[in-house]
A and B are shown apart, each in its own frame.
Chain A
Amino acid sequence: MLRRARFGLCVIAPLLWAGPAAADAEEFETLWSATLMGQFQIIASQEADDDVTGFFDQYEFVPNKSSALPFELGVRDAAFDLFDSGGTPRIRFRWESPTSNLGVSGSQIDEPFLNQRGELLGRFDGFDFDIDYRRFRTEELRLFPNEFGAWGLAFTDLTRPDDLFSHDRTGFYGGLRLRPQELLASPGGSLDWLAPELTLRGGYQSREGERQFRFLSTDWLAITQELDQSVGEVGGGLLVAPGGLFTMVFDFDYTRFRNSPTVLDSDLGSPYPATSRPIGFIPDTDRSTGSVRLHRRFGQRAVLEGGFQASWLEQVGDRTPAQQAAGLRDNNLLFYSANLAADVLLADRVSANAFFKYDQRDNKIDRDTALFNPGTQQYEFLEQLRRIVAGAEAVYRPFRASQFALGARFEWIDRDLDPATSPIRILPENWLVADETQMWTVYGRAKLRPVKGLSLRGELGYRGAPKTGYIVDLDDYVYGKLRASYVVPLKRPIVLSAFAQGGSGENHDFSMVDGLGPSPAGPELGRDFDRSSWLWGLTASASPWQDVTAFASFYQSRDAQDYGLVLSDFQRYFQNIIPLNFSRSGSIEYRNDQMSFILGTHVQLSERTDAGLSYSFTRAESDYAGASPEIQLIRANSSIDGDIHGLDFEVGHWLMDGLRVVVGYRLQYYTDRAPVPSGTGSVVSPFNLSTYENTVTLGVTLTSDLLAKKD
């Protein structure tokens, strides 16, 4: 890690030196600030262990949780701006590290993990650069099995009790833009006329950690799989704007993805079969993408945009033993994408816009191997996918800040699905994907400002789908969106805004066909899928007194899905050899409800002292309802019911110009009401995820004012 940090400094330091030199300025103005922070946490005892991932650890790493006093030091934020003698900003550096540390107490002092993000921008005559640095960790909760009934498979947990399933990402990304006509003293006519901009970009990211991989082998297994991935990117582009007539951009990018070594069955050891079948194999890949984009404005009345992109994704590096045995060397995907959009002013207040987009995905895998026909392919193979989306819209603007629009969209997807020819296969009658999708939408939208301070924006539409590709594609779909904001005209105005959107549709296109063999003549079991979803919310911000601002927000949503739970007496791929019967085991009513509200205030207590206080609450609930025993079993094991509370308080005081002290407190509290899984066979006993974290922060902010000369 230190080596990486040194590398980063080596990259950044020359740029910091080179930037001002290139700015050709005599005097610089610099502004800087930094907040040094110390914080300690009090964490719920069940998670106060470095080897346990708690609910809040998923996204925010707390180092050294095993310590009695998990204390960390760090730079929470830092900023540096450099302006030339004309006041032009040339260099901007930002550092944010909300849970960062320069060191921690206890066991992890030698390997402090830094959740951090940095950005360095430079803007100079003839060239710009952007550098972005990030390092962050996400953790995954350990998942436990629920095992019910006498038919259950044995679960064998080969993970270790102290395994932590985390994912650390560390990476740089940078770009350099060169404008030769600005760099050269006397660029000459053609260079000025072309106004080229050359872009070079590249980056590197490493991803390290472990994941809990669960799969079915001779029994039901969970293993700890190492993650050791790297992504390297390099690319470039050329932009030309000849005479300002149009802009054309050519880009090429190459991405190299490398994954950790393959894990085989034989790595599991006894009593598992010592075969060379890989577990959770992820291919190394190279991706090359080229594109050309065009923009052209025709005077004041029309604009035309278009582009084309081709991308080639290929497997490289290690092949699996089965691949090698089958002689499968080439496994590639080819993507094309093209677009066109235009906006034309037809009359004084009337305009029209239209767009067209075409996507194509070709699966170029060599299928003439034993891995496919007459091998192990059991379901349809997507050979090629072609997608067209197009639409047009007429817009009328009767008066300022208002518009009415009527539009239509059309989406068409054509799939070349190749059926399997193996004896054990899913017959086309019972595919879960259709070879064609057709959807059209008509809509009207409006934006109005009926009275001063009130702004309304809404859209209402209807979508018909003569052909759907998946059962979750909705036909007969009605949707609406509304957004309103109002500035209450008081001495101290209150800004209110409200939003709502919802939609409802269904899909009755899919059915399952009973019987034996191709074109089975048995009865059809219709699969009806209905879905409605809506959300709405309110926000308000106000300044009730001169030194006080307040903010409140409320949000609520529901996703409701109703469909039949379809059972079959055997797997669908046996239909060619065994008569297959489908049945419905009741109807599932799935509901997902979300709700949140936030209250916040900021008070300027005195000229030097300010305080902020906020509280947030989020509720997430998912539930399955239905009469059949299977649905009841789902309900008992798959419900989600949790509340997240967050309370933040921070007070800051400027001791003198350029020196501020900050004291903060944060409480995070999570209540989980979902049943704790049985975890039969796990190496770790499941625990309820309800938890809390108390964080106390002490900080000192230093700014450039501290060193500024006083008059």
Chain B
Amino acid sequence: MPAIDRPRKAQRPGTKGATRHGLLERRSWVVPALVGGLVACATAWSPPEPRTYHRTAAVQDAGELVGADECEDCHEEMRGYAVIPDFHAECESCHGPGELHAESEEPADIRFPGDADCLACHETGRSTHLTYATSEHARSGVLCSDCHDPHNRELRNVREALPVQKAMLRHAGGTTRLCVSCHSEVGAQLALPSHHPIEEGMLGCTDCHQPHEDRRVMLGGRTALCAGCHEDHVGPWIYEHLPGAEDCGYCHEAHGTSAYNLLATSQPGVCIACHSIPDMGATHGTQAFATRCTDCHGAIHGSYTDPLLRR
């Protein structure tokens, strides 16, 4: 492991950070130690070296750079892509020097770029890839090229789903169809009687999911994500339904459900799994079992008027 030899950027005297450090120190040694450690780790100098990702091996001794023209002599199908060097890169920026391969014409003599090559440029300095390295996709071994086509001339380089996959979600956007080509169970759920309007093309997977993100550590959590579109369900209330305050997922399943309003379990099941029913006839009794609970408890997410969330 490269030495973390000079924590030169941490804790310069007289800076705001140093002042805060001093204040925190008076309260406890744990917090400043953590903060100091983090800052030191974050700013410590590493020796300059080619930025490659540790899980991909490079072809050694591939010779010199030969230029895109040389590549196009054989790879005519790539001719169109080679005219966009300043959009993405020269062939050899990702594939490495091509001299050996150009001479031998052996596939083994050229690098097949992996995630390392993408991340070398796309990881640092990008707000979208900050937690990619520990993301669900990265840990599962999904490659950048499984979803992106670097030779694609379209912005974002997202791969095209096969035309035949239009059958799966008729009007969904290309990115959504690409997602469900692997997550086909989600594709099926999106066609259930209650669903977000994804099949109809009005929303897409990436409206809620950031495919480059580590879902385990998503700042804010799931309820904050839902609140981004459903502000009218998150209060702040005076009287609130506690499961809703914690996690919308206690009652709702976002992709699609049999029950209306994306309820994971139809009413009254979603309610009576937790709640008991007063067997008093007049207010709950038989009528409660024959209706939806929310026909009376209309303000189920929260209320300003009624502690029993009826209005």
Contact = CB atoms under 8 A, between A and B. Distances in A.
A594 to B, nearest CB: 6
Contacts of A457: 140-141
Contacts of A287: 231
B33 interface: no
B123 A295 contact: yes
Given A378-B308, A600-B168, A311 B54 contact: no
A529 B273 contact: yes
Interface in A275-317: 277-283, 285, 287, 289, 291, 293-309, 311, 313-315
15 contacts: A151-B281, A214-B296, A215-B310, A249-B130, A300-B54, A322-B304, A341-B131, A343-B134, A356-B217, A376-B307, A555-B187, A568-B278, A596-B188, A612-B163, A614-B167
A630 interface: yes
Q: Among A220, A311, A600, which residue has the most Cβ atoms of chain B within 10 A? A: A600
Interface string B11-43: 000000000000000000000000000100111
Interface string B165-204: 1111011010000000000110111011101010111100
Contact of B85 (A86, A335, A361, A616): A86
Nearest to B130: A295
B304 A600 contact: no
B242 A633 contact: no
Contact of A341 (B217, B290, B295): B217
A252 to B, nearest CB: 13
Interface string A203-222: 00000000001111100100
A692 interface: no
B167 A599 contact: yes
A638 B269 contact: yes
Given A89-B84, A644-B191, A244 B124 contact: yes
Contacts of B311: 215-217, 277-280
Interface string B112-154: 0000000000011111011101100001110000000000011
Interface of B: 1-2, 4, 9, 38, 41-47, 49, 51-55, 83-87, 123-127, 129-131, 133-134, 139-141, 153-156, 162-168, 170-171, 173, 184-185, 187-189, 191-193, 195, 197, 199-202, 214, 216-221, 224, 231-232, 234-240, 242-243, 245-246, 250, 258-260, 264-269, 272-283, 285-287, 289-292, 294-299, 303-305, 307-308, 310-311
B279 to A, nearest CB: 4
A675 B43 CA distance: 66
A87 B278 contact: no
Contact of B236 (A308, A333, A341): A333
Nearest to A295: B130
Tell me which of B219, B242, B296 has the highest count of chain A C-beta atoms within 10 A of its own C-beta. B219
Contacts of A278: 304-305, 311
Given A249-B127, A341-B217, A353-B134, A283 B304 contact: yes
Given A60-B200, A136-B197, A285 B231 contact: yes
Contact of A594 (B170, B188, B202, B307): B188
B193 A470 contact: no
A196 B84 CA distance: 25
Given A244-B125, A469-B246, 12 more contacts: A88-B84, A88-B87, A121-B155, A143-B295, A214-B295, A214-B296, A298-B1, A320-B305, A385-B245, A570-B280, A571-B280, A618-B192
Contacts of A92: 154-155
A172 interface: no
Contact of B201 (A88, A117, A395, A497): A117
A395 B45 CA distance: 27
Nearest to A31: B153
B287 A618 contact: no
A345 B133 CA distance: 12
Q: Among B123, B281, B298, find the residue whose CB has the most chain A CB atoms closer than 10 A.
A: B298
B42 A246 contact: yes
Contact of B134 (A245, A303, A338, A638): A303
Given A88-B84, A98-B171, A588 B272 contact: yes
Nearest to B278: A571
Given A86-B84, A304-B42, A640 B259 contact: yes
Contacts of A566: 272, 276-277
A216 B274 contact: no
A288 B191 CA distance: 35
A249 B264 CA distance: 36
